[in-house]
């Protein structure tokens, strides 16, 4: 989803924003990486989270029936494989969450993040910004991304950059976000291997121009020109 090179992340602190019931933090922690998950879903009672995530999983299963014209098979063979993968992820998440609430899993509601400036080297965000541009306004997008940049030392990556109702096209907010941030940051659109929704095979990378000496060595990108999709 984010083209991560694990060799570059050994000394990095990573924040997975709006991480939800995903198992990225679980897996990375098991391998010894420093990852924190943040989401407004998280709370002190693990049973509540289990109820919400299993209910959301059933809703997701129903929502994906009849979606064949909106998905691209390849990364996943078919719907059954994708749903089995998602089920495994949320169950792994829940096991880890039970033991690590307020440690690796912290409640945060965008557009605010309660961490000091530059707390993380890399901040990731998937399946919220751009995708749900039908219900989250431009101001929310800009404020949330600026907040992610505030808590990151080096880079923010956002996946995907299509809109849920856009038939695989870039979100209409993308161009404006790039225009608003490009005076202060390097912005780059990168292809990614992960894909489920049609057109969802790119991420937006936003890098700080003035990098710290002790940054974790993430790859630098040139500033870009954005062309419509």
Residues at the interface with ligand SAM (CB under 6 A): 18-20, 22, 39-41, 108-110, 126-128
Q: Quote the least distance from Cβ 6 to ligand SAM, whole Å.
A: 19
CB of 181 to ligand SAM, least distance (A): 19
Distance of closest approach, residue 52 Cβ to ligand SAM, in angstroms: 9
182-197 residues labelled b (16+ CB within 10 A) or e (exposed):
eeebbbbbbebebbbb
Q: Kindly state the smallest distance separating residue 213's Cβ from ligand SAM, in Å.
A: 31
Instruction: Match 């299509």 to its residue by tokens.
Output: 162
Considering the complex, state which of residue 127 and residue 153 has its C-beta at the smaller distance from ligand SAM: 127
Nearer to ligand SAM, 19 or 82 (CB): 19
Write down the H helix ranges in 101-222: 138-151, 174-181
| One-letter-per-residue 3-state SS of 48-113 | HHHHHHHHHHHHHHHHHCCCHHHECCCCCCCHHHHHHHHHHHHHHHHHHHHHHECCCEEECCCCCC
**Which of 143/180 has CB closer to ligand SAM?**
143
Q: Which residue has the tokens 């922690």?
A: 29
Say how far apart CA 96 and CA 143 lie, in whole Å: 30
Q: Is 172 helix (H, G, I), strand (E, B) or coil?
A: coil
Closest contact distance (angstroms) between CB of 182 and ligand SAM is: 25
Q: What is the layout of strands, in order, in the sheet containing 152-159?
A: 105-107, 34-39, 13-17, 120-126, 152-159, 202-208, 185-191
**Least CB distance from residue 160 to ligand SAM, whole Å?**
9
Is the Cβ of residue 57 or residue 226 nearer to ligand SAM in the bound state? 57
| Closer to ligand SAM by Cβ: residue 136 or 226 | 136
CB 161 within 8 A of CB 193: no
CB-nearer residue toward ligand SAM: 105 or 186:
105
């Amino acid at each position: 989803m984010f083209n991560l090179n694990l060799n570059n992340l050994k000394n990095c602190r990573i924040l997975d924003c709006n991480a939800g019931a995903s198992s990225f933090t679980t897996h990375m922690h098991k391998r010894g990486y420093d990852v924190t998950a943040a989401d407004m879903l998280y709370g002190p009672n693990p049973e509540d989270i289990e109820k919400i995530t299993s209910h959301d999983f059933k809703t997701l299963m129903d929502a994906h029936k009849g979606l064949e014209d909106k998905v691209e098979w390849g990364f996943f063979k078919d719907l059954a494989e994708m749903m089995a993968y998602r089920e495994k992820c949320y169950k792994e998440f829940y096991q880890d969450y039970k033991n690590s609430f307020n440690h690796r899993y912290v409640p945060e509601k965008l557009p605010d993040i309660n961490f000091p400036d530059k707390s993380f080297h890399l901040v990731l965000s998937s399946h919220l910004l751009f995708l749900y541009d039908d219900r989250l306004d431009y101001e929310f997008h800009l404020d949330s991304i600026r907040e992610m940049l505030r808590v990151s030392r080096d880079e923010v990556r956002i996946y995907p950059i299509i809109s849920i109702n856009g038939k695989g096209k870039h979100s209409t907010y993308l161009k404006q976000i790039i225009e608003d941030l490009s005076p202060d940051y390097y912005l780059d659109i990168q292809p990614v291997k992960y894909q489920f929704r049609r057109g969802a095979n790119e991420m937006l990378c936003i890098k700080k121009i003035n990098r710290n000496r002790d940054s974790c060595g993430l790859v630098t990108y040139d500033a870009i020109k954005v062309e419509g999709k």
